[in-house]
Structure 1
Amino acid sequence: MSAKIPAVVLGGSGYVAGELLRLIAGHPHFELAAVMSDSQPGESLAQAFPHLASAYADVRFKSQTELEKLLAEAPRSAVFSAAPHGVSAVLIDRLLTVAASAGTHPRVVDISADFRYSSAQAYESVYKHRHGAPGRIAEFSSAVPEHLPKLATPHVGHPGCFATATLLASVPLLALGLTPPAVFVSGITGSTGSGRKPVEGTHHPVRHSDLYSYNALSHRHAPEIVACARAATGVEADFAFVPHSGPFARGIHVTVQAALKSPLDTPRVLAALRDFYAHAPFVRVTEQAPRVKEVATSNYAHLSAAANGRTVAVMCVVDNLNKGAAGGAVQWMNRIYGLPETAGLTTPAPGWT
Structure 2
Amino acid sequence: MTQTPTLEEIRKAPKVLLHDHLDGGLRPETIIELARERGHRLPSTDPDNLAEWFRESADSGSLERYLDTFTHTVAVMQTREALTRVAAECAEDLADDGIVYAEVRYAPELHTDGGLTLDEVVEAVLEGFRIGSTGPDGRQRIRVGTLLTAMRHQARSMEIAELAVRYRDAGVVGFDIAGAEAGYPPTRHLDAFEYLKRENAHFTIHAGEGFGLPSIWQAIQWCGADRLGHGVRIIDDITVADDGTVTLGRLAAYVRDKRIPLEMCPTSNVQTGAAKSIAEHPIGLLRRLCFRVTVNTDNRLMSGTSLSLEFAKLVEAFGYGWDDLQWFTVNAMKSAFIPFDERLALINGVIKPGFAQLKWRM
* Larger strand fraction of residues: 1
Taking structure 2 as the reference length, what is the TM-score of the superposition? 0.33
Q: Is the helix fraction higher in 1 or 2?
A: 2
- Greater relative contact order, per chain length (Cα 8 Å cut-off, separation 6+): 2
